[in-house]
Amino acid sequence: MQRKILQSLQNWKQNPNRKPLIIQGARQVGKTWAMKHFGEQSFEQVAYINFDNNPRMKTLFSGDYDINRLILGLKIESGVDIQAHNTLIIFDEVQEVPQALSSLKYFYENAPEFYIVSAGSLLGVSLHHQVSFPVGKVDFLPLYPMDFHEFLLAVGKQDLVELLNLKDWSLISAMKSRYIELLRQYYFVGGMPEAVKVFIETQNVDAVRQVQKNLLMAYEQDFSKHIRDGQTVQKVRSIWHSIPEQLAKENKKFIYANLQKGVRSKDYEIALQWLKDSGLVHSVPRIKKPHLPLSAYQDNAFKLYGLDIGLLSAQSHLDASVLLDGSRIFSEFKGALTEQYVLQQLIANQDNPVFYWATEKGTAEVDFVVQQKQAVIPIEVKAEENLKAKSLKVYVEQFQPEHAFRFSMADYREQDWLVNVPLYGILPLKINSIL
């Protein structure tokens, strides 16, 4: 598989001011694979340390942080003669030994010549509660499920990716049947590496769906495994199970009353934060005005999306038959899958958070709003070719943005106030590079 994070890892390696690196991401998005693959491709040696259920490493890091002592212990554990100039040291499941996280500070301050990459399941949750975390002493790199671009590469469609990168929209439109077929597959398979791998190897949608169900089950088991308070576990489950229903509404704003009548947001605050820290959900806050910085104008309303479009389709019990039924998959659940798809591509390919805009009375709503450099860009998502963009027009008339985008099943075209981009053409990487 070709993952974009590999280039980011190369950039980190070449940075003379690099710090120990922490890869953040939900469970099973490919963190371990990325670290190992990067090590094999770019270093003479890889010292891989797994901290899960590892009493030897607990003992090693419970002592002092003398670098020579730590390196000696890591050499013995990994069986690799660690040399600073040619060895990648991998700390996997590092959240299991919090002192190992703390040690990164001392590696940065006393032995910056060592290349250290760390990751772990639910590391976001651990970091949120980690008192002695080495603030300012580490670099971070996020990893998400595979985006549509990476999916195309994985299924051997390098030529279609090259065409997208050329932005030859007339030729892209001529080839749209190829793109749409692959986009349908992506809506069902999603970007979880194991699901993509099984799809490539078997072409069996039932086998793919089983992988997704297993992943969903593993996430649910994490709730009770890592949360001590039983009430919080139930609240996490309630939020998690409500996502398909919340997104199937006409108004996709998250409603706490749908979980239980009479509850308040603060009753579910800890549970929601846990899901966000674990990387299993993406919260998209509402902004009152699209001015910079966007975060200054957000209020308490938000929409809640899942980690991955394939997992969302599995959670929604979407039958594989919709894959074979024209473009029906794009409009399922009032376009919820399509919004999830667009959000996933935005999150994977730009650094800034994603918001949405709505009028005070809810008479108009723009699905997503992002900041790129000094521009605020509104994005409307249409699941089919129905191109009435009433809400976007309200936004444009009121705020007069330099660019406004609509992602839909229609072909690429530029109008005086709007650029329509086909859903399969969201990439290349930056929205403003589409023009």
- In this structure, are residues 87 and 80 in contact, taking their beta carbons and an 8 Å threshold? yes
All structural domains of the chain, each given as residue ranges with its CATH number in brackets, are 5-142 (3.40.50.300), 148-433 (no CATH)
Cα-trace Rg, the chain: 23
Tokens encoding 165: 């990168």
d(CA 258, CA 255): 6
Q: What mean pLDDT comes out for the span 50-73?
A: 97
Q: Respond yes or no on whether the N-terminal peptide bond of residue 293 is cis (omega within 30° of 0).
A: yes
For the stretch 291-317, pLDDT in tens is: 999 999 999 999 999 999 999 999 999
CB proximity list for 88: less than 8 A, separation 6 or greater:
35, 38, 39, 42, 43, 45, 46, 47, 115, 117
Distance of CA 171 to the CA centre of its chain: 30
pLDDT at residue number 334: 75
pLDDT at residue number 429: 44
| Closest by CA position to 205, among listed 326, 324, 28, 336 | 324
d(CA 120, CA 28): 10
pLDDT at 410 over 70: yes
3-state secondary structure string, 56-114? HHHHHHHCCCCHHHHHHHHHHHHCCCCCCCCEEEEEECHHHCHHHHHHHHHHHHHCCCC
pLDDT tier at 121, thresholds 50, 70, 90: confident
The DSSP-derived string for 156-203 is T-HHHHHHHHHT-HHHHHHTHHHHHHHHHHHHHH-S-HHHHHHHHHH-
The DSSP letter of residue 412 is: P
pLDDT at residue number 96: 92
Tokens encoding 44: 């003479």
pLDDT at residue number 131: 46
Residue 317 to residues 125, 212, 326: CA-CA distances in angstroms? 28, 11, 19
Please give the mean pLDDT across all residues of the chain.
93
pLDDT at residue number 406: 94
pLDDT at 428 over 80: no
For the stretch 93-105, pLDDT in tens is: 999 999 999 999 9
d(CA 146, CA 150): 6
d(CA 362, CA 34): 43
pLDDT tier at 431, thresholds 50, 70, 90: low
Tokens encoding 376: 């605020």
pLDDT tier at 432, thresholds 50, 70, 90: low
pLDDT tier at 128, thresholds 50, 70, 90: low
